[in-house]
Structure 1
Amino acid sequence: MADILDDGTLSFLPVRLNNQPVVMGGLTADEMWATVALSAGSGFVLGIPVAILFHNWSLIILGALVGGVLGLTVASRILRRMKRGRPETWVYRQLQLNVALHFPTWNSSRLITRTGAWTCRRTEGA
């Protein structure tokens, strides 16, 4: 093996050892479970009026299952396109930025969200 030196050490630096493995459709495990939870929850909520309309309460669970499956297949394609060529933590930073922009009281990470021109001026006496 050309990658192992005489003293038994590696001649290259493995860079992807601590990354989460891609589980399904280009999503990591955390992204997959969040997608399934959100889609199944929306399918559950949409299944309630259908169940009331048809007087069949099992349609609520069916709506959650169908919502989870459809959401995972659609979201995996969309997220895979969005993540292509970006760093591993891009999705999480985008979520963090959206929370900071839309819910300023939840901005616990203290992200700077100011937009506009920045100027650098000297103060007198300094």
Structure 2
Amino acid sequence: MADTISWVPKRLNAAPIVFRGMTGKEVATLTLAGLGVFTPIGIVAALVMGMIAMAPTVAFLGAGLTLFFGGTIMRRLRRGRPTSLMYRQLQFYLACKGIASGEKLITRTTRYSIRRHPPLKPDFRKH
């Protein structure tokens, strides 16, 4: 008898919910996006007010707000859908715009065929 399970349910290996219905990857993505957006705003605020501590304060406050409100938005967007759907949608959008390669995605509309013929119906007539 093997020490490992030959089959593993999908949900067993799924990333756990960490904060406001988001996985760790989504939390990190939103936090970095918030830092990226609010760091320049914090630098401008620091230069205007003459207080250097405003830059990291505004950056981290903005990242926290992005995480708080972005979590609500992401939870609504993902409700009842597979966990990887949003990543595929982003990948598809970037591939359609030509920003990223879409080699693994179908990015054009056309008729696809699998080249299978319909099954033959058995002939039950008596000879």
* TM-score relative to the length of structure 1: 0.75
> Displacement of 1:92 after TM fit?
1.1
Shift of 1:119: 8.7
Alignment-derived partner of residue 43 in structure 1: 38
Unaligned runs of 5+ in 1: 1-12, 121-126
Q: What are the equivalent positions in structure 2 for 1:1-126 lying under 5 Å apart?
A: 14-102=9-97, 104=98, 106-115=100-109, 118=111
| In 2: Cα distance, 1:118 partner to 1:90 partner | 23
Alpha-carbon distance, 1:63 to partner: 1.1
**1 CA distance for matches of 2:54 and 2:108?**
46
Which deviations, in whole Å up to 9, do the C-alpha atoms of 1:33-61 show, x marking residues without a partner?
01001101211111111111101111110
* Cα 1:110/1:40, change in 2 over 3 Å: same
Task: For 1:14 and 1:46, locate their aligned partners in 2 and report how far apart those are by CA, in whole Å.
Answer: 45
After superposition, give the CA deviation of every residue in 1:87-114 in whole Å (9 maximum; x if it has no partner).
1211111111121122x15215342322
Determine the structure 2 residue equivalent to 1:3: none
Q: Distance in 2 between matches of 1:14 and 1:71?
A: 33
- 2:3 aligned partner: none
Letter of the structure 2 residue corresponding to residue 51 of structure 1: A
Structure of higher CA gyration radius:
2
Q: Which is further off, 105-114 or 47-56? A: 105-114
Give aligned-pair identity as a percent.
Answer: 33
**Which secondary structure does the structure 1 equivalent of 2:41 belong to?**
helix
